[in-house]
């Protein structure tokens, strides 16, 4: 099981952690939400808990808790800019369907 990080995402995470002045990496969770079932929850992790899975690429860590791992397994975390908007995008092979607005998904 693995979660990968693009170079673009790593660059953005590094900048955010430097601006914060602390942090271990990006914490990625999922929660039941929206019209399709789940949504991603992103936060910066100041510590790594027992049971967390840590994936490191490009000198950046992504931390995933045990419950979210089956849903996120094989995902790639990317950071993209489209027009005036910049955001994290997940390329998740486990998604079977997404809602029309793109805010939630099911597996």
Cα–Cα distances in angstroms (integers) from residue 95 to residues 8, 34, 53, 92, 101, in the given order = 22, 14, 20, 6, 15
| pLDDT of 101 | 57
CATH code for the structural domain at 4-94: 2.60.300.12
User: What pTM does this model have?
Assistant: 0.85
| pLDDT of 39 | 87
Would you say 92 and 2 are in contact if contact means Cβ atoms under 8 Å apart?
no
| pLDDT of 80 | 95
| pLDDT of 103 | 63
Average pLDDT along the chain, 107 residues, taken 10 residues at a time? 91 96 94 79 93 94 92 94 92 78 67
Domain segments of the chain as ranges: 4-94
């Amino acid at each position: 099981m693995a979660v990968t990080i693009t170079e673009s995402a790593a660059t953005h995470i590094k900048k955010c952690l430097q601006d914060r002045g602390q942090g271990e990496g990006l914490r990625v969770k999922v929660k039941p939400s929206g019209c399709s079932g789940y949504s991603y929850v992103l936060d910066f992790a100041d510590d790594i808990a027992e049971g967390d899975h840590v994936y490191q690429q490009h000198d950046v860590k992504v931390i995933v808790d045990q419950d979210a791992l089956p849903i996120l397994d094989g995902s790639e975390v990317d950071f993209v800019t489209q027009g005036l908007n910049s955001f994290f995008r997940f390329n998740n092979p486990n998604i079977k369907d997404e809602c029309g607005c793109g805010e939630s998904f099911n597996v």
